[in-house]
């Protein structure tokens, strides 16, 4: 059993922190809105802290899952000074690789480990404890945190030095964006051609066109259902990080940039909170 803090109780962090309790760890949580931390403590029989410093005091592991680079910096600035030398901070936020490297340096100056560990699997993956985690940092810090992350992970992998986890998450989102646009066009084509989606999936769903997105989103796309899943607003945030990084390293992300523009169209349609599969809406 490890003494842990979890900072940030959004749709991902709330169940993730709960899985830590279920695995037998001693967990204290903090959230910007205190009432959510209190609700979590009641749901999972854990502790809620008033401040970040209170939450992380004496903890071996500190996990955070917040919004974007500025949120990470704000939390790290308050957490690291209150952490014990030798403790490890694990950041599950999808942020920039630059943010990860700066936070790693800040933590190291205090003798604290830092692992950037963005997650994939969505809200359902968090609830079921079946997330994929892409990590960057020192091998020793990763090795220490990995058994604790097992509480909510189906797979974890150290990708390299600090920032490598965030770079890998960018690749994940780039690939998803392209796959979803292709799937949206395929479903659109099937509908225009007068084919039944059930029949189409039965024919192509076991072949080379198969994907997680097809298995889990093609039917709901055909039904015009999008009030669930990974929000367009979040995907645009993630793609924005990838596109800015691509400019810095000289990578050509022509398709990702195009799909990001399509997501902008969806936002203008009022679909910022729709699932990312809502790319189909703009084709109708």
The catalytic residue positions are 169
Q: How far is CA 261 from CA 98, 268, 282, in A?
A: 24, 11, 11
163: CB partners within 8 A, 6+ apart: 97, 98, 100, 101, 104, 116, 136
The rounded distance, in Å, linking the Cα atoms of 198 and 203 is 9
Helix (H) or strand (E) holding 245: helix 232-249
Helix (H) or strand (E) holding 136: strand 131-136
The sign of the CA dihedral 135, 131, 120, 206 is positive
The rounded distance, in Å, linking the Cα atoms of 246 and 211 is 25
Burial class (CB in 10 A: 0-12, 13-18, 19+), 68: middle
Strand, helix or coil for residue 39: helix
73, 18 Cβ separation under 8 angstroms: no
Tokens of 157: 């992998």
Q: How far is CA 264 from CA 69, 232, 245, 260, in A?
A: 21, 9, 19, 6
What is residue 231's DSSP assignment? B
């Amino acid at each position: 059993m490890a003494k842990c803090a979890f900072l940030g109780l959004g749709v991902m962090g709330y169940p993730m922190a709960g899985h830590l309790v279920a695995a037998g760890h001693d967990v204290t949580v903090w959230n910007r809105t205190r009432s959510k931390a209190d609700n979590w403590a009641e749901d999972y029989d854990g502790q809620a802290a008033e401040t970040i410093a209170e939450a992380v005091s004496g903890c071996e592991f500190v996990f955070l899952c917040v919004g974007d680079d500025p949120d990470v910096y704000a939390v790290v600035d308050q957490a690291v000074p209150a952490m014990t030398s030798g403790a490890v901070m694990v950041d599950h936020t999808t942020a920039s690789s630059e943010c990860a490297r700066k936070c790693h340096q800040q933590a190291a100056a205090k003798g604290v480990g830092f692992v950037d560990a963005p997650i994939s699997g969505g809200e359902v993956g968090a609830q079921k404890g079946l997330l994929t985690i892409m990590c960057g940092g020192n091998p020793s810090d990763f090795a220490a945190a990995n058994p604790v992350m097992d509480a909510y992970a189906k797979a974890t992998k150290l990708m390299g030095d600090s920032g490598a986890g965030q770079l890998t998450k960018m690749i994940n989102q780039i690939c998803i964006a392209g796959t979803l646009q292709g799937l949206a066009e395929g479903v659109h084509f099937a509908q225009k051609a007068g084919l039944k989606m059930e029949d189409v999936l039965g024919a192509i769903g076991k072949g080379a066109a198969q994907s997680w997105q097809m298995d889990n989103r093609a039917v709901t796309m055909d039904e015009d259902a999008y009030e669930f899943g990974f929000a367009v607003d979040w995907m645009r945030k993630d793609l924005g990080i990838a596109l800015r990084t691509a400019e810095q390293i000289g990578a050509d992300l022509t398709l990702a940039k195009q799909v990001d523009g399509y997501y902008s169209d969806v936002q203008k349609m009022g679909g910022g909170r729709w699932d990312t599969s809502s790319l189909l809406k703009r084709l109708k």
